[in-house]
Amino acid sequence: MRGFRNSTSQWELRRAWRATIRATLSTIILLACQALGKSVDYSWSNPGSGIWSQTGNWAPATGFPSNSLDNATIDSALPLNVAENSTISIRSLSIPQSPVTLNVGGTLTVANALILPGIVNLTGADKPTGIAGQLKVTGGSLTNQGTLNVGAVGALGAGPGGTINWGVINLLSPINPPSGGFSYFDHITGDVTNRGTFEIFGNNLNVECGGPSNSFTNHATLLIDSGATLAPYQGTLLNATDGTLAGGGVIGNGIGGTLNNHGLLSPGDGLGRLSVNTQTVQLFADGTLQIQIGGVNPGVTYDQLALRSAGIIGGNLDLEFVNGFVPVLNETFSIVTGSGLSGQFINAPGNVITTSVGTFAVSYSASEVLLTVVAVPEPSGAGLLSFAAVLCTLFRLRQCSKTGADGPTEVFKLCHRPRRRRPNC
């Protein structure tokens, strides 16, 4: 028994010793890997050629930020260029409040949150295949405080914090759009919150936004130009109470998605038609639909909101008459079209709304909201008095004597009043 115990104890000692050896080797290997992949803090203080990946443009001048552990600081106003087809992945990017210009033609991925105070151009390649000019923030929020230009074909993405815009974001259409029905796509992943100016230019540009659970919330100005499409997929495009959503483009790609309006919804680029291809549309009570009218041609000389499917009408209707247009009796204006429309505007009690140029009957059906001119202003009493006063300055009524066959008779004549002499009746 004693021998058995001794052999058992020795076996346990050897097993513990081996475990200790393995743990020590693992620690040594881990430390060696960490030493080889140690993070470096780079500063863009010697811009030289302006190329990100060129050694010597950074301090220390032994390399450039390219490792997922590297940190980069841009403190020079000279442009910094990430070359097309290049791939840069770093831990953090710091840009002080200075007029920095960053041109990204390839892919720049930043793990931590990123704040952009200057000018960033996701230029990419103007071609119908592939994606170039990508900026991705995987571990935090992407906050734009300057001007961010996303060119065709470009991609913009953010992690859990989403994209927050306080400045200007321009999604630019291609210079030479291709023929054959192909559309350029800009891609936005994650949630988007706009508190500045967010404009999607036309010229055959589709913008894919988020996924089924992502949202686009507008607190400022969101413009979708004619020829452009903003597709929120199955997510929600929310125009908040302090937001303005305008343009003559298209919202939605016909797959799903929701448009909820609590702010100002203004169809048209000036005058025009805003088409909504989301699955549901709701105009809430705290929102306003602004319709400008400058003629009788729907979507051309007056604004129209065209819904692909069901829509719930609500909120206020704001009618503005432009270009000197004055409607006449019985003219009609189809301001909303759709399928399965319901609800009504809260500022048109009795289905009537009165403006300075006339009174309109508002009729609702499942497919249309129609305005019909039922009354136009008549000259007011004050206006008639003013007209009479003008006449009195030019004419006066005189009692005159006229001699006829039966002798003199008194007659009254409306005589012109010359400036310096008495009228001769």
Residue 123 pLDDT level (bands cut at 50, 70, 90): confident
The predicted model gives 229-250 an average pLDDT of 92
**Co-location of 404 and 295 in the same domain:** no
In which domain, by residue range, is 412 found?
Answer: 381-416
Q: Residue 130 pLDDT > 70, yes or no? A: no
How confident is the model over 277-289, as pLDDT tens digits?
A: 998 999 999 999 9
CA distance from start to end of the chain = 156
Q: Which residue has the higher pLDDT, 232 or 338?
A: 338
Closest CA to 46 of 35, 59, 36: 59
Q: What is the dihedral of CA 63, 69, 75, 79, to 10 degrees?
A: 70
Phi, psi of 409 (to 5 degrees): -135, 155
Let me know if residue 101 belongs to a domain.
Answer: yes
Task: Quote the pLDDT of residue 176.
Answer: 63
Task: Quote the pLDDT of residue 415.
Answer: 46
The predicted model gives 254-281 an average pLDDT of 94
How confident is the model over 371-404, as pLDDT tens digits?
A: 999 999 976 554 444 444 444 444 444 444 455 5
pTM here is 0.79
Residue 417 pLDDT level (bands cut at 50, 70, 90): very low
Q: Which residue has the higher pLDDT, 50 or 38?
A: 50
**What's the burial of 289, exposed, middle or buried (CB within 10 Å: 0-12/13-18/19+)?**
buried
What are the Cα distances from residue 142, in Å, to 28, 73, 97, 135, 321? 38, 16, 16, 9, 41
- Secondary structure class of 267 (helix, strand, coil): strand
**Co-location of 164 and 283 in the same domain:** yes
- Secondary structure class of 18 (helix, strand, coil): helix
**Co-location of 108 and 81 in the same domain:** yes
**Co-location of 347 and 325 in the same domain:** yes
How confident is the model over 198-216, as pLDDT tens digits?
A: 999 887 777 878 777 789 9
Cα 304 vs. chain centroid, distance in angstroms?
Answer: 18
Q: Which residue has the higher pLDDT, 383 or 250?
A: 250
**Co-location of 180 and 299 in the same domain:** yes
**Co-location of 296 and 186 in the same domain:** yes
- Secondary structure class of 351 (helix, strand, coil): helix
The predicted model gives 340-356 an average pLDDT of 97
Let me know if residue 106 belongs to a domain.
Answer: yes
How confident is the model over 58-92, as pLDDT tens digits?
A: 989 888 999 999 999 987 777 888 888 889 999 99
Q: Which residue has the higher pLDDT, 98 or 358?
A: 358
The predicted model gives 231-251 an average pLDDT of 92
Task: Quote the pLDDT of residue 264.
Answer: 98
Residue 413 pLDDT level (bands cut at 50, 70, 90): very low
**HSE-CB of 299 using CA atoms within 13 angstroms:** 11
**Distance between CA atoms of residues 291 and 333, nearest Å:** 10
Residues 6+ apart with CB under 8 A from 350: none
Let me know if residue 425 belongs to a domain.
Answer: no
The predicted model gives 240-268 an average pLDDT of 95
**Co-location of 354 and 396 in the same domain:** no
92 within 8 A of 84, measured Cβ to Cβ: no
**Distance between CA atoms of residues 1 and 12, nearest Å:** 16
**What's the burial of 297, exposed, middle or buried (CB within 10 Å: 0-12/13-18/19+)?**
exposed
**Co-location of 387 and 256 in the same domain:** no
DSSP 59: B
How confident is the model over 2-29, as pLDDT tens digits?
A: 454 455 566 666 766 666 675 565 445 4
The predicted model gives 307-332 an average pLDDT of 96
The predicted model gives 313-327 an average pLDDT of 97
Task: Work out whether strand 395-404 and strand 407-416 pair parallel, antiparallel, or are unpaired.
Answer: antiparallel
Q: Residue 1 pLDDT > 50, yes or no? A: no
**Co-location of 388 and 310 in the same domain:** no
Let me know if residue 34 belongs to a domain.
Answer: no
* pLDDT cut 90: percent of the chain above it: 49
Closest CA to 305 of 279, 276, 281: 276
Let me know if residue 25 belongs to a domain.
Answer: no
Task: Quote the pLDDT of residue 77.
Answer: 74
Q: Residue 128 pLDDT > 80, yes or no? A: no
Q: Residue 291 pLDDT > 90, yes or no? A: yes
Task: Quote the pLDDT of residue 199.
Answer: 95
**Co-location of 316 and 393 in the same domain:** no
Task: Quote the pLDDT of residue 132.
Answer: 62
User: Residue type at 49?
Assistant: S
Whether residue 60 has a cis bond before it, omega within 30° of 0: yes
Task: Quote the pLDDT of residue 182.
Answer: 47
- Secondary structure class of 288 (helix, strand, coil): strand
For residue 163, the cross-strand partners are: 142, 192
Domain count, the chain: 2
Let me know if residue 108 belongs to a domain.
Answer: yes
Let me know if residue 1 belongs to a domain.
Answer: no
**Co-location of 188 and 250 in the same domain:** yes
The predicted model gives 44-70 an average pLDDT of 86
**Distance between CA atoms of residues 333 and 337, nearest Å:** 11
105 within 8 A of 86, measured Cβ to Cβ: yes
DSSP 60: S
Phi, psi of 282 (to 5 degrees): -135, 125
Let me know if residue 13 belongs to a domain.
Answer: no
Q: Which residue has the higher pLDDT, 251 or 2?
A: 251
**Co-location of 203 and 257 in the same domain:** yes
**Distance between CA atoms of residues 263 and 221, nearest Å:** 10
- DSSP 3-state percent helix, strand, coil across the chain (nearest 5): 10, 45, 45
Task: Quote the pLDDT of residue 419.
Answer: 44
